[in-house]
Structure 1
Amino acid sequence: MRPNSKSLSVLILCASGGLLLLAGCGGFALPMSPLSGGFDDGYYDWLPPDEGAGSGLLDGDDSGKVEPDTSGAAETTPGAALGEDSGGTGIQAGLLTAGTFDDNLNLDVFRTFIGDMQQQATGGIPSVNLGQRALITVKNEAGNPVGGAMVTIATAGPGDSSSSLLSVPTSTDGVAVFVSGIDAAGAGEVNQFTVTVAPSDGADPLTVTTDLTNLDWTIVVPGQDATVPPPQLDLAFVIDCTGSMGDELEYLKAEVSNIVDTVAARFPTIALRYALVCYRDEGDEYVTRSFDFTDSLQDFQTSISLQSSMGGGDYPEAVHKALQAVRELSWTSGPVARVLFWFADAPPHAEYAQVAFEKVLGLRASGVRIYPVAASGVADEAEFLMRTTAMLTGAEYVFLTDDSGIGNPHAAPHIPCYVVQHLKQVLIRLITSELAGQRQYPTAEQILRTVGNPVDGVCATTQPVDQQQEQQ
């Protein structure tokens, strides 16, 4: 819990497809990763006729042109509009604002941040050695992503001398992230790797050999059908329910309830399951409180509406136990979307920082894509773990901003460029990206403020971080 904070607090984590991987047959092709490009015409034929390309859904529109004020605009789908009361609580959904950042698109920025934090930190952050980062992309012969394929990376030693380094399922966009300093730690000097892709339909695995001179590993698996849209979305939220979140908890509850309502209405053909984990700290009324996956939207909304925040005492919280509780949820295996949104304002206790990081690696191995959402008061230690979590699981770092005027002041992130939207639009855009298997971008009408010079999520020019903080 943050010092001198108010009385209520909640944190939310959502589960999504794990790291991004794409596989291919017989050698490597020019990569067309969802992190940077598009797919063939007809890729979005699964969408309803009024929600295809150009309808606003695929370019990040939140079902209605929303101007940069909070007066609200009528939704074309059920659910509260921006600025509208959600659930009759008197608290309006669609008011909180947030920025996002993809460290996989801005790897140099991330390396600088990690290096600076490791030099400055006196404790409280996990040991992270990046080494080289490779993106594995698995797709079919038509160029569409193959989700749910198990990707195993091993050292390419002679005979039986190879050793497995990482096994992770591809997400809906067919992508996974391999970080040699983490995944190959202790393997010694490794020059070559084998990448084995086992499709979820039981087809014969495909193995290719590669090295770190090429960091975009694209593997084409023949005979595979497109796996988007996925048949199911497992959507989980983990919420810090300590007192320091009190300035924003009730708004977050309204946002989440409204977001899941909108997603259910917008994607009626996709089976949806919802889960919730609230956590506090040792010595509080409870440490973790879990509500396992349910397909009942009403039951989920009731569960989250009954949560309140209290306790905490000091700044760090029992993050490691919260992440363990998330691992114990009944996640669905196979080619489904597994999304976790983690709303928090504090890091784990210093003595459990490495344990919390290991829990993240466990969720990554289960194919859960983790989108951290940093609330007011997030300091360096929390930003370090949150951004590392998002990068490793192929997700984006989300952070609340002061543009809404809600809550305590929000710490400026160590990020040189980003755009600010309403939080509701951000989360729906990220969920839509998971279900479409390709990155969605905000429309010009949705952007409330721009910092630096982001171009499709990439910082085109990098200003000093101190300059960006002065713009807050």
Structure 2
Amino acid sequence: MKRVNTRRVAFLAFCGVVASLLLTPAAALAQTVEPSSFSATLDPGETACFEMTVTTGTTPVPSADIVFTIDRTGSMWDEIDEVKESAADIMTAIRAVVPDSQFGVASFMDYPGFYSYPGYADIYGEGDDVAYEVNQQVTDDIGVVATAINSLWLGSGYDWPQDYTRVLYELKEDDPAYGAIGWRGTAKKIVVMFGDAPTHDLDFAGYNYGGDPGRDAVAETADDLDFETVVGELLAEGIRVVAVDSGGSPESAATFKGMSIGYDTAPGTGGQYFELANAPQIPDAVLDMIEAEVSIIEYLTLQVPAEFQDWVDFTPAGYENVGPETTVVFDVCVTVPAGTDAGLYTFPVDATGDGAVLGTTEVSITVPTTGAIPGMTPYAGIGAAAALGLAGVIMIRRRAARQAI
């Protein structure tokens, strides 16, 4: 007889309630950015200013990319079974909270082979183990992601620690040559890490579990990875880790706190941490941590395409810890640089919260007098129009502009 999981039944019931609330028009307020556009006619050296007002929605962070990252070594069978069984329900519940949410899957075991470092030597993994792989790039298709999770198979591992450092490094790098997860540039980036062991590192938290040999998989070479360094790089990139630690040991707790909420003097990524007592806790734990990640904006600021950053000044630089349905105001000033060529210049000013775009003010500046912008080349055809005596038009398309940020 199949055991009835009462926590799972409660979780599924909660999913249904949340989904029904989402369908109610008054259930949630969306974020707003005003004005939607601003235009001015300015000669080189002249300035025009406006107020940009940003109001957060019921869920302050409106978009999120969430990557389920799973330790597939033999001791994780119970957790993996639970994630497989509940994956679609977890994603459905998250999407009810964050409608613009997308999901991906990455997994790992460890480096296959024997490694020797000062003070530690052991077999890291068996011959068919993998240090990192992307099982599904970020997508809005919950079914595809659930299928990828349910296709995972258990590897071996050998020694106790795992290569969490390498996994975090690859998620940050997002390099197609080594497995790109496909983060969007307009969403908050969240890693949900499942595991039960400490990381390979020579000294983190006072433990020596051998180094992480990096991409070349050779010990003590230039590309070896350091846990605290990699975690610091994720923090700088705005990637948050929510950690599900099923190890039940001080060593695993140090690693999982170290990549999320911080451990001792290591700041972590500003994420969330949960110590798992049993696998059926996973659905509620993951949903609670994701809700915590999107319930407040750690830093709300404005972003301008690189080509126009010397045109725009705004104050304040940003706002910290912005909650739901909260209004903040930026004073934005646009100054046309000396020597700017005559023409129409358009660009977006994006309001962003923890990497998620809340909204945009489209700026259009007409420059009536002629000059030259060193290093700025109009699109093909505009030069010909200028040669005919027509005002040149330089248009930075929205997509290209965001990619340049």
TM norm structure 2: 0.47
More helix by share: 2
The structure with the largest strand share of the pair is 2
Which protein shows a greater Rg? 2
The answer to which structure, 1 or 2, has the higher relative contact order (CA under 8 A, 6+ apart) is 1
TM-score after normalising by structure 1: 0.41
